[in-house]
Amino acid sequence: MEILAFGVQGDEKPLIEKAFAGQHEVRCLDVFLNEDTAPIAAGYEIVSSSVNADLNGRVLRTLAAGGTRMIAQRSTGFNNIDLAAARELGLTVSRVSYYSPYSVAEFAWTLAMAVNRRIVRASNRTRDFDFRLNGLMGRDLRGRTVGVLGTGKIGEAFTRIAHGFGMNLLGWDVARNPACVELGMEYVDKDVLFASADLISLHVPLLEATHHIVDARALKTMKDDVILVNSSRGGLIDTDALVTELRSGRFVGVGLDVYEAEAGLFFLDKSLEAVEDDTLARLVTFPNVVVTSHQAYYTHEAVGQIIDTTVANVADYVAGRRSENTLSPL
């Protein structure tokens, strides 16, 4: 059977081809699966999608009409998939429920340290042989308070690193993680966390209940000299409200690996085009903001696990099995 994989990065392609070798043929495309590209999948029973695919009802109906019966998404998040429509059409949909939490947790800390110690600004200066230190002063994190929203596997990994820095640990989640409690984490109401933390990192999934969990009110609650990091989902932050606070001179730094309107932008080369997104264009101009393009998961280990799980999901579909990764059917 030949599988059509959309949104495959250059580094990812040889790993996918190697993983499926001897089992199925795989055709890799660098374009993302959406309404414009869905007709390409005609005749493919199995399609693999990436995190930035747009699998709305119209796309799913196009896929189903072309003979697609299974969609294997290569990501943990699935807020981009209309699951109700998939179940109505009888499509099997799977995701990757787990991969290395260290990839994202370590990258979140990379963003935090980059904005705290002004790494990007310093690097840009030294490229111009400007070796002054003015404006590059950071802060010790030891003894300061970190607030972790979401203490699942990634949040726990982030917390362990914070513990290594010697920070005071605050957490918020619907359920307490015993491992984080053992490290000394105190679970508090999220408003208390927003008001108390010197560094806030987001590790919750994007759900209806968490959409804009960091809204205008939450941002105003935070300390003026807070560091805010988001390596989870862009929709967790009200970006327009964040820009308003940044324009007023608040926050030591903001590190964003995700953006709520990233679809159609991230993973693509837009360097020769006019930027139509005014909010993003304004956001990247702030000297205390670092924006990266959804790369926190992008390590050899994590991508390898994602691909291996995708191969297993396809094998389950072929064998008529369900697993914890099966989203449709119920």
Give catalytic residues, as residue numbers.
233, 262, 294
DSSP 160-172: HHHHHHT-EEEEE
Spatial neighbors of 118 by CB under 8 A, at least 6 apart, are: 135, 136, 137, 138
Residue at 248: amino acid letter: S
| Phi (first) and psi of residue 229, to 5 degrees | -130, 135
In angstroms, rounded to a whole number, what is the distance separating the alpha carbons of residues 190 and 34? Answer: 36
Report the candidate in 182, 221, 216, 181 with the shortest Cα–Cα distance to residue 200: 221
Supply angle C-alpha 43, 49, 55, rounded to 5: 85
CA 15 to chain centre: 21
Q: What is the DSSP letter of 214?
A: B
Q: What is the DSSP letter of 32?
A: P
Q: What is the DSSP letter of 103?
A: H
